[in-house]
Structure 1
């Protein structure tokens, strides 16, 4: 029998099993699961009332709406999947589509950079947007720093917040104890955080996978507990207050006669300091991005990527995996220390509560959802996640539910992240040219 004739018959036989009844059954099953999960989260709410009595109320209307959305969404997803399948879009992208995506990235990066630079100009009178921009850029910098460890070197680090905390406390202690300025303490905070990154790297040289994740998670908790209990040095749960603000090359941003506004002959405004902090964190984030891109093109960057793909093959090629891992931890920790120093000078007060495991999980989620190894993807993920939290701030009861649902959908449709494509750091253009010359000469 001709295989070309047998295939349609087989498809026709399998068709009824995956027809309307199958789609409806799958949608009903999804709705049932949603009903069970949402019944306690949405359908019934409880609170502690007066005299210890439990007060509860029901929201069956909201529960029915969510279950209905899951039912309709399941049908829509199945129809879209069947529509995409015959087009072959689930397989490897055509070269034209890939080129369009690359061109879009080349246009999107300068556009985002120009818009970011102009944010203080466009939204000068909107303090909330400026503060939100500073927060987003801080997490962009943290994501790019962790991207060196997780995205490039392939080392799962769940304790990245420890380096963030070391940088913050280093700047706070140096500035309040010795009276050093922000610009002097900034490199010192990065160096100290890098030192702790090397200390973490030595015990985990032989670990990978789940074991590496457990040890790094424990390291982050150890740092937090040390900060919480070493009250003579860190202030314990009371934290450190009165942290000095940064100056503009030694000129304070204050309303006095020696302030920057008085020297420029303009009226002082508290927004000047916010704008200055915005450009400081923007410069630090761009420095992190530039250093990461440059390091990827160096032998150490290629060693990170080789380690990520296959550690055994990497060792067989003669690459020193010990040095490779230690440099990844050290450089990633250094940029985390820079971000921590900025966080301390922006807040003016730090405490161990600001450096919990949730911060590490959030930064890791930004790296994974953006696309491990993708600089643009990490920036977009930080914007979406931090900005998304703010958009749903008025929906406290649904914010985490929507956030979790969005991550699940993203992992289904974009399992490699928002920007899953990683441009190679080395192109074999010379080798291709030599091969073409050999073919022309008849040696191929």
Structure 2
């Protein structure tokens, strides 16, 4: 049954993206782009938090790294978006691999504080290193990709529908890689680290390498999201990459959707991006909604929205067994 539900998820995802594309509604398309960005960030966070159990509160630093790197490549060096897509995730992974061994010496609250401090340092740099980042004013004039493809199979990435197709293809690719990784021995060992680090080491696994690898994957995917954000919006400033605007919201999306699940980031992004837009809330009210949704889901579905199907199925089985016992009695 779980396999059938998984297949249904892929069908619904692709069908939903196709419907949004053919609707050709600018507002809906923009909201869908935001949903995919948050889902990508949550997928990256899932590796270090959902699988390994480390509360990474500095994801915004790598999100900003990807965005500012893409902005520099586009505006200063006039390079196409494809270069930023190739370079910045690697840069995010390298920076994570250099920082990882230092911050991963800690765990629990201390690791969370260390990554939070990392995000604050990067936020301060983006605000004050005016010559490079533009400071609070930011960087504008970021170009979107031009014609992508050949002949009848080409799209214009400069238009919103073209950008939507481009981001959708990348998003589905990230989802496929996440689905493959979730069934790998690598993620199995990360789950072992989350459950009992000492026991996992006793089996001969060098857990530090696996944790650094998970931290690096998280940084690479967050940097990829930053590249996409920069080219979608075509303007960046420090605010979208702060703790409350990036790291906290990515954490809530993952926690609401379901830690360690494949579809949790998608479900969390749909709910927490679509709900404020549907209610037409002011920006400062979104954090209130995020907190309220996180509280309700934590109380009702501690394992997130992705576990709703399992909870319903379990209750149905329990009800059937109860009815069977009553009949037999």
TM-score range, shorter chain: 0.7 to 0.9
Q: Distance in 2 between matches of 1:303 and 1:389?
A: 37
1:190 is aligned to 2:77:
no
1:391 is aligned to 2:275:
no
The farther-off stretch of 209-218 and 149-158 is 149-158
Instruction: Give the SS at the match of 2:103.
Output: coil
- State how many pairs are aligned: 307
Shift of residue 402 of structure 1? 5.1
Q: Distance in 1 between matches of 2:284 and 2:126?
A: 32
Q: Distance in 1 between matches of 2:149 and 2:14?
A: 28
Q: Distance in 2 between matches of 1:343 and 1:397?
A: 21
Alignment-derived partner of residue 265 in structure 2: 378
Question: Quick one: which of 247, 263, 281 aligns to 1:360?
Answer: 247
Instruction: Give the SS at the match of 1:203.
Output: helix
Shift of residue 173 of structure 1? 0.9
Question: Quick one: which of 3, 6, 10 aligns to 1:109?
Answer: 10
Question: Quick one: which of 53, 58, 80 aligns to 1:181?
Answer: 80
Q: Could you tell me whether the CA contact under 8 Å between 1:109 and 1:376 is conserved in 2?
A: no
Shift of residue 399 of structure 1? 6.1
Shift of residue 166 of structure 1? 0.3
Deviations 1:314-362 (A, max 9, x none): 1111111111011101111111111101111111111111211111101
Question: Quick one: which of 314, 318, 333 aligns to 2:204?
Answer: 318
Alignment-derived partner of residue 108 in structure 2: 209
Alignment-derived partner of residue 194 in structure 2: 308
Q: Distance in 2 between matches of 1:279 and 1:298?
A: 29
Alignment-derived partner of residue 407 in structure 1: 294
Alignment-derived partner of residue 63 in structure 1: none
Shift of residue 136 of structure 1? 0.7
Alignment-derived partner of residue 225 in structure 2: 339
Q: Could you tell me whether the CA contact under 8 Å between 1:374 and 1:422 is conserved in 2?
A: no
Deviations 1:30-62 (A, max 9, x none): xxxxxxxxxxxxxxxxxxxxxxxxxxxxxxxxx
Please provide the CA RMSD for this pair. Answer: 2.6
Indicate how the Cα distance of structure 1 residues 130 and 147 shifts in structure 2: closer, same or farther if over 3 A, else same: same
Q: Distance in 2 between matches of 1:224 and 1:311?
A: 32
Instruction: Give the SS at the match of 2:212.
Output: helix
Q: Distance in 1 between matches of 2:84 and 2:289?
A: 40
Indicate how the Cα distance of structure 1 residues 405 and 334 shifts in structure 2: closer, same or farther if over 3 A, else same: closer
Alignment-derived partner of residue 282 in structure 1: 168
Q: Distance in 1 between matches of 2:285 and 2:168?
A: 32
Q: Distance in 1 between matches of 2:162 and 2:4?
A: 33
Mapping 1:153-302, distance limit 5 Å: 153-249=52-148, 273-302=159-188
Deviations 1:83-121 (A, max 9, x none): xxxxxxxxxxxxxxxx4x664444243123222233111
TM-score by length of 2: 0.86
Q: Distance in 1 between matches of 2:226 and 2:184?
A: 27
Instruction: Give the SS at the match of 1:154.
Output: coil
The farther-off stretch of 148-157 and 404-413 is 404-413
Instruction: Give the SS at the match of 1:375.
Output: coil
Q: Distance in 2 between matches of 1:110 and 1:385?
A: 22
Q: Distance in 2 between matches of 1:327 and 1:422?
A: 31
Shift of residue 137 of structure 1? 0.9
Shift of residue 200 of structure 1? 2.4
TM-score by length of 1: 0.64
Indicate how the Cα distance of structure 1 residues 329 and 315 shifts in structure 2: closer, same or farther if over 3 A, else same: same
Q: Could you tell me whether the CA contact under 8 Å between 2:257 and 2:306 is conserved in 1?
A: yes
Q: Which has the larger radius of gyration?
A: 1
The farther-off stretch of 111-120 and 101-110 is 101-110
Q: Could you tell me whether the CA contact under 8 Å between 1:141 and 1:284 is conserved in 2?
A: no
Instruction: Give the SS at the match of 1:408.
Output: helix
Q: Distance in 1 between matches of 2:174 and 2:81?
A: 18
- Determine which structure has greater relative contact order: mean sequence separation of CA pairs < 8 Å that are 6+ residues apart, divided by chain length: 2
- The structure where helix makes up a greater share of residues is 2
1:130 is aligned to 2:29:
yes
